[in-house]
Structure 1
Amino acid sequence: MKALVKAKAEPGLWLMDVPEPEAGPGEVLIKVLRTGICGTDLHIREYDGWARQAVRTPLVLGHEFVGEVVEVAPDVAAAGTVAPGDLVSGEGHLVCGTCRNCRAGRRHLCRSTVGLGVVRDGAFAEYVSLPASNVWVHKTKLDLDVAAIFDPFGNAVHTALSFPLVNEDVLITGAGPIGIMAAAVARHAGARNVVITDVSPYRLELAEKVGVSLALDVRGSKTAIEDGQRRLGMREGFDVGLEMSGRPEALRGMLANMTHGGSIAMLGLPSEEFSIDFARLVTSMITLKGIYGREMFETWYAMSVLLEGGLDLSPVITGRYSYRDFDTAFDDAAGGRCGKVILDWTA
């Protein structure tokens, strides 16, 4: 089969013929239809410092996907949870099942998580195998492009729904695809004001399409968020913050504009350590919560229900390419003037 492979310990990706995977005990074999390009994939293609530490070649990339089940192991067939013909996406964090958190039902906190497309061969291929326990069956009709990005959509939902949002004022720092999806979720979930910040006019325009109250360009401005509060008639700061950028200045600006007793969910992953105003954090009694991945599988239920309830993610998807044009697709995804970029494995 064809697959996108990190074949060498150097920058680049290679479209290669590799053996088709098999459905081992407890697993299913899935024919891949669409995949989404993630920032992780860009890091692996570039082979930066993180990728050099995390990835062992050769490796098939990809963890955002939708596909059709073509084979299930006998024990999976007996359980009746997944069947050939099902349209599925996959939870890309494979957990051990035996640690304290896994046994307590907190699988998203497993200390021994293995990443699909990072440690285990992934979904940038014509077929992928996955444990049945990691498969999410789509019960209702769904656009394939949207189904392909359930993984990052889950990050957005997990972050946005970490704290109550109804009638609250929400600040989102970072208008990348996940930040924009989180803004759509916050608006759909009943937030009063949803303000998003970024330094990319293109991505701020995308954010406006999902109905944010304000999309603020913070380039060269130390008061953009304060000015935004005044424009909205806010008096006491933001109730909920969703930090999606991983930038020190973004978190510092968020802390400076939170109300007393506010809550911050932090998904953005910093590239290095940085300082914050802990006196502000303490004296304003602000809650800071780290977010990684999705809650298994509560977040997946929430995603499906949000889409069934009319949440529209189509503005976030800005490009689709045949897998054969992967270089162009990756260049698009890395260029910054895009939302989510999709690879079509049927074209």
Structure 2
Amino acid sequence: MKALVKEKAAPGLSLVEVPEPEAGPGDVLIKVLRTGICGTDLHIRAWDGWAQQAVSAPLVVGHEFSGEVVSVGRDVAGIEVGDLVSGEGHLVCGKCRNCLAGRRHLCRATVGLGVGRDGCFAEYVVLPASNVWVHRNPVDLDIAAIFDPFGNAVHTALSFPLVGEDVLITGAGPIGLMAAAVAKHAGARNVAITDVSEARLDLARKVGADLALDVSSASIADGQRLLGLREGFDVGLEMSGNPAAMRDMLANMTHGGRIAMLGLPSQEFAVDWARVVTSMITIKGIYGREMFETWYAMSVLLEGGLDLAPVITGRYPAAEFEAAFADAASGHGGKVVMDWTA
């Protein structure tokens, strides 16, 4: 089968022929239909410092996909040939304290699909049945392919009650855009989102943000005034991993404000902890999705009319992966999807 592979410890990826993966008794073999490009994939392609520490070549990359079940192992129940599925990309041990308590998203032994084991940028992928999400209701193939990052957005956005709240999102990348759509759909009064890319800020307006603020020319304090806020934002969703964004968010939260932080900084940075203490601000770190409560919430949100179509701005045949990756790395658009049937 054809697969997109990190063949050696150097920048770049190659579309090459590799053996089709074999499914065990508890596994599901899936024909891949669509895949989404993630920031993790960009790191692996660039072979930066993180990738050099996290990845061993050769490796089939990718962890965002939608596909059709073509076979199931003898021990698998509840999944049928022909089902449209997506996959949870965090494979957990099932034996640690958190796994046994049903908190699988907190497993310390998590292995990432397309990072610690062969991934889904291929014609076929194998997953344990426990990591397969069956779409019981109709869903667009492209949207189904981005359930993994959509789950990051949902997990982050729904960490705190949103009804009637004023929400600040720093970073209008694809997950920030999805979080803005979720926050507005979930009943936030005002949703403000910041970035320095006008193209991405325009996408934010299309998904329902009340204020899309270019912080290269205006401050978050200016945004507060534009929205008529008197005491600051109630809920913050930090999606950028940018130290300045986090500091600005803290400076513009109301007393007792709550921040969910998904953006991953590249290095340590200083925080005004005195403000955190005296303003009694709660900061919660987010990594991945709650298995599978977040997935259930995603499906329900889509059934309830949440529209993620504007977030997908690039569609390419898998054979044109170089163009697809260049688009994803540009920093100007939303999600980029590759079609493995073209």
TM range (shorter): over 0.9
1-structure distance, mates of 2:223, 2:266: 28
For residues 40-59 of structure 1, the aligned pairs below 5 Å read 40-59=40-59
Map Cα deviations across residues 273-310 of structure 1 (whole Å, 9 max, x no partner): 00010000000000000000000000000000000000
Q: In structure 2, what is the equivalent of residue 145 of structure 1? A: 142
1:24 partnered with 2:24: yes
The equivalent of 1:133 in structure 2 is 130
The partner residue of 1:209 within 206, 210, 214 is 206
Residue in 2 that maps onto 1:63 = 63
Give the TM-score normalised by the residue count of structure 2: 0.99
Could you tell me which residue of structure 2 aligns to residue 115 of structure 1? 112
Of 157, 161, 171, the match for 2:158: 161
Pairs within 5 Å for 1:324-343: 324-343=319-338
Distance across 1 between alignment mates of 2:75 and 2:243: 48
CA distance in 1 between counterparts of 2:217 and 2:207 reads: 25
User: How far off is 1:25 after superposition?
Assistant: 2.1
State the one-letter code of the partner of 1:319: G
The residue correspondences of 1:80-99 to structure 2 (distance < 5 A) are 81-99=78-96
Query: Which whole-Å CA distance do the structure 2 matches of 1:218 and 1:337 have between them?
Result: 15
Structure 1 distance, partners of 2:244, 2:330, is 22
**Distance (whole Å) between structure 1 residues aligned to residue 25 and residue 231 of structure 2:** 56
1:226-245 to 2 correspondence within 5 Å?
226-245=221-240
Tell me the alpha carbon deviations over residues 251-278 of structure 1, each in whole angstroms, 9 at most, x when there is no partner: 0000000000000000000000000100
Please give the secondary structure, in 2, of the residue aligned with 1:304: helix
**Which residue is 1:268 aligned to?**
263
Find out whether 1:311 has 2:306 as its counterpart. yes
Distance 1:255 1:284 in 2: 9
TM-fit CA distance, 1:17: 0.3
Rounded Cα–Cα distance in structure 2 between residues aligned with 1:345 and 1:284:
50
Regions of 4+ moved over 2 Å: none
Shift of 1:336: 1.3
Query: Matched residues in 2 for 1:192 and 1:158: separation?
Result: 19
Q: Distance in 2 between matches of 1:119 and 1:232?
A: 45
Deviations 1:186-228 (Å, cap 9, x if unpaired)? 000000000000011110011010111100000154xx21111
Looking at structure 2, the residues matched to 71 and 22 of structure 1 have their Cα atoms a distance apart, in angstroms, of 10
Q: Which residue of structure 2 lines up, in the alignment, with residue 9 of structure 1? A: 9
**C-alpha distance in structure 1 between counterparts of 2:195 and 2:115, whole Å:** 28
Q: CA offsets, 1:49-78, max 9 Å, x none?
A: 0000000000000100000000000111xx
Distance in 2 (CA, whole Å) between partners of 1:197 and 1:74 is 50
Unaligned stretches of 5+ in structure 2? Answer: none
* CA displacement, residues 84-104 of structure 1 (integer Å, 9 cap, x when unaligned): 000000000000000000000
* In structure 2, C-alpha distance between the alignment counterparts of 1:190 and 1:27, rounded to whole Å: 39
1:296 aligned onto 2:291: yes
User: Alpha carbon RMSD of aligned pairs, Å?
Assistant: 0.6
Cα separation, 1, equivalents of 2:149 and 2:181:
13
Distance (Å, rounded) in 2 between the aligned partners of 1:231 and 1:270: 29
Instruction: State the 1:149 CA deviation.
Output: 0.1
Which position in structure 2 is the counterpart of 1:36? 36
Aligned partners of 1:132 and 1:340: how far apart in 2?
Answer: 27
1:128 partner amino acid: V
Instruction: Report the Cα offset of residue 337 of structure 1.
Output: 1.9
Query: What fraction of aligned residue pairs are identical, expressed as a percent?
Result: 79
Q: Quote the Cα distance in structure 1 between the aligned partners of 2:333 and 2:259.
A: 26
CA distance in 1, matches of 2:198, 2:214: 7
Q: CA deviation at 1:129?
A: 0.2
Q: Which residue of 2 aligns with 1:171?
A: 168
Quick one: structure 1 residues 214 and 220, their matched pair in 2 at CA, closer, same or farther if it must change by over 3 Å?
closer
Write the distance in 1 (CA, Å) between the matches of 2:279 and 2:31: 51
